[in-house]
Structure 1
Amino acid sequence: MSASKIAIGCMHLLAKLPLPLLRGLGKVVGRVLFVVAGQRRRIALRNFELCFPDVPEVQRKAWAKESFEVFCQTFLDRSWLWFGSEELVRSRVKLVGATHELKGDTPTIVFAPHFYSMDAGGLALPLNTEREFTSIFATNPDPDLDRWFMNGRQRFGNVKMLNRADGVKPIIQCLRKGGLLYLLPDMDYGKNDSVFVPFFAVQDTATIPSLSRFARLGKAKVVALYNRMTPEGYVAELTPAWENFPTDDHVADTARMNRELQAAIMTMVPQYYWVHKRFKTRPDGEPSLYSGK
């Protein structure tokens, strides 16, 4: 039996634990990971240094430690999110905010940035709407893990997963049919198709302008979904549709997206995905911001 199958089997067992016990286990694992996962620790600390140069180092380190804990807690929570009963998931995952934006058939893009709770938010929407719900994925090289992720993310509602390799056309088709698109465009996806816009204190951050472009091509409104881990489970907060978005300037739109994200991050700093090399791609001629990391 492969290691991934054993791990998935363990998640079946963990799904039966009381939530406080599971969260406690995740916290312990996160503290250990902060010590032993040296490269990821250095990346997280560097990201905090780049984004918050005026914040005292002791605070940045505290954020990084808590970020590792939340990362592990939310990962273990996938046990009950993907194996627990619908009743259990509904009792722990709450959708709040501008839920009226889900009604009707207006093409809608849900900007869902990489908070560690993103998979909880990915279930909150199909549990609360009958509309077709589309998300974009990249194939995991491990077929067992890939199947686990796919099954978990499609377990409720009318969910359709589109492979990133299939291009833009099926995405726009889903939108124009009045669907919902769950979009996570806030990572560093390389130089191709990216624009450089500010993100916190880093003025040139490679960011794909897909939110603006898909909204324009699909004639869609944009709402944001900010997912937060709480002691009781998760709260997914839906914002009202963004006004004056998109415009004809995809660079300005992408800069606005980052500003909106910054405001959300500041309400729960450690819960954002800081273990990723967000600033790996640099403008031509600029040195790496992660030298030795």
Structure 2
Amino acid sequence: MKILFALLWLIRLLPMPLIGALAWGLGNIAWALAADRRRVGLINLRRCFPEMTDAERHRLLRRNFRYMMRLMLEYGVVWWSSAKRLDRLVTIKNLHYVTDLRNQGRDVILFYPHFVGFEMCVFALNQHLPLVSVYSAQKNDTLDAQIYRGRQRYNNAYIVSRQEGLRPIIKAMRKDHAPFLYLPDQDYGARDSIFVKFFGIDTATITGLSRISQLARAAVVPAIARRVGNRCELEFYPPWDDFPSDDVVADTQRMNSFLEERIREQPDQYFWLHKRFKTRPQGEESFY
């Protein structure tokens, strides 16, 4: 692990186009060797984009492997490069949707799905705003310590363990009205999930966005991270009106529908290698 960190430290010294070229080559190698991840990605794409040909889905997923490799190579950049460099690498659009609410004394939840630019963008954002995030411990102690240290590099991140529940999250949000960075778009199992549509598929989706918004009386502001060439762009969308409603199913469907629209705008930049449809309704055969 120390060798890996040393390599990432050295890679962050390279110009961004060279890091991109390295990711392009290593991404192609990963595409060829990571047969299980490739299989998962192609199953996901076949379910979500049945209108595509097999060749189109293969090309899309191959680009996705390159993007994912670039995300991993850029951990050295986000952990150890200067704050000025990170700020130059990310364009932040419509931040006023968040700052206006904070100036009014409102708490904010950032609906922040898993796109390939999410690490670079959040480190740039953390220079402008304190953030609350949920942390899951890693199995490797050295990796765990480095990820935790990286998230604290600006000394204004409130990190809550996933095992601690909602109360510490809400308490942390109320310190400086720090926005809560929330990523609810993966399969966390049947517990606390309901089945709502995602690309027309019954998908186990946690209802936390609606529940936390209600408990904290917080506004929800979507934020989407994009790669644009050798840089990234973080775009904020208007706060959701009438959210949460009195219908948690409708709220959760609203979240998935919004996410689906954004994925269709940049389908090669989403986290397709995750088993998003692992949890199935009772009696339904596994996709994988």
Specify if TM > 0.5: yes
Q: Distance in 1 between matches of 2:229 and 2:268?
A: 15
Paired letter, 1:84: S
| 2:249 maps to 1:246 | no
**What is residue 183 of structure 2 aligned with on the other side?**
184
Q: Secondary structure at the match of 2:86?
A: helix
Q: 1:53 aligns with which of 50, 62, 65?
A: 50
Q: CA deviation at 1:98?
A: 4.2
d(CA) in 1 for partners of 2:151 and 2:178? 17
Q: CA deviation at 1:242?
A: 1.0
- Read off the aligned partner of 1:67 and give its amino acid letter: N
Q: In structure 1, how many angstroms separate the alpha carbons of the residues matched to 2:85 and 2:174?
A: 34
Task: Report if aligned partners of 2:126, 2:156 keep a CA contact under 8 Å in 1.
Answer: yes
1:103-252 paired onto structure 2 within 5 Å: 103-104=102-103, 105-129=105-129, 132-156=130-154, 158-177=156-175, 178-202=177-201, 204-252=202-250
By how many angstroms is 1:157 displaced?
A: 5.3
Is the partner of 1:260 in helix, strand or coil? helix
- Is the 2:97–2:239 contact (alpha carbons within 8 Å) kept by the matching residues of 1? no
RMSD value, Cα? 1.2
2:97 touches 2:236 (CA, 8 Å); kept in 1? no
Query: Superposed, which structure 2 residues align to 1:32-71 within 5 Å?
Result: 32-71=29-68
Q: What SS does the aligned partner of 2:220 have?
A: strand
Percent identity over the alignment is 36
Aligned to 1:288: 286
* Contact 1:134–1:181 (8 Å) recurs in 2: yes
Match of 1:23 in 2: 20
SS of alignment partner, residue 30 of structure 1: helix
Distance in 2, Cα, partners of 1:55 & 1:226 = 24
Count of residue correspondences = 284
CA contact (8 A) 2:116 2:269 kept: yes
**Letter of the 1:192 counterpart:** R
Look up the match of 2:11: 14
Q: SS of the residue aligned with 2:132?
A: strand
Question: Corresponding residue for 1:77?
Answer: 74
Shift of 1:173: 1.9
Q: 2: distance between equivalents of 1:161 and 1:99?
A: 24
Q: Gaps (5+ residues) in structure 1?
A: none
Over residues 45-87 of structure 1, what are the superposed CA-to-partner deviations in whole Å (9 max), with x where a residue is unaligned?
A: 0000011112222111111111001000111111111110111
Query: How far off is 1:218 after superposition?
Result: 0.5
C-alpha offsets along residues 225-255 of structure 1, whole Å, 9 cap, x if unaligned?
A: 1001122321111111111111111111011
Q: Which amino acid aligns with 1:126?
A: N
Please, which of 88, 92, 96 is the counterpart of residue 91 of structure 1?
Answer: 88
Q: Give distance in 2, aligned partners of 1:7 and 1:89.
A: 21
Contact between 2:27 and 2:65, CA under 8 Å: does it hold in 1? yes
Partners of 2:132 and 2:147 in 1: how far apart? 15
The 2-side partners of 1:227 and 1:150 are apart by 21
Q: Is the 8 A contact 1:133 1:182 kept in 2?
A: yes
* SS, match of residue 287 in structure 1: coil
SS, match of residue 71 in structure 2: helix
Give the Cα separation in 2 of the matches to 1:14 and 1:269: 27
- In 1, the alpha carbon distance for the partners of 2:228 and 2:81 equals 18
Preserved CA contact (<8 Å) 1:122 1:153: no
Amino acid at match of 1:220: A
Instruction: List runs of 5+ in structure 2 lacking aligned partners.
Output: none
How far apart in 1 are the matches of 2:136 and 2:155? Answer: 21
- AA aligned opposite 2:210: S
Q: Secondary structure at the match of 2:69?
A: helix
Deviates more, 1:39-48 or 1:103-112: 103-112
Cα contact 1:52–1:201 (8 A) shared by 2 = no
Give, in whole Å, the separation in 2 of the partners of 1:52 and 1:10. Answer: 37
Within 2, Cα distance between the matches of 1:80 and 1:136? 22
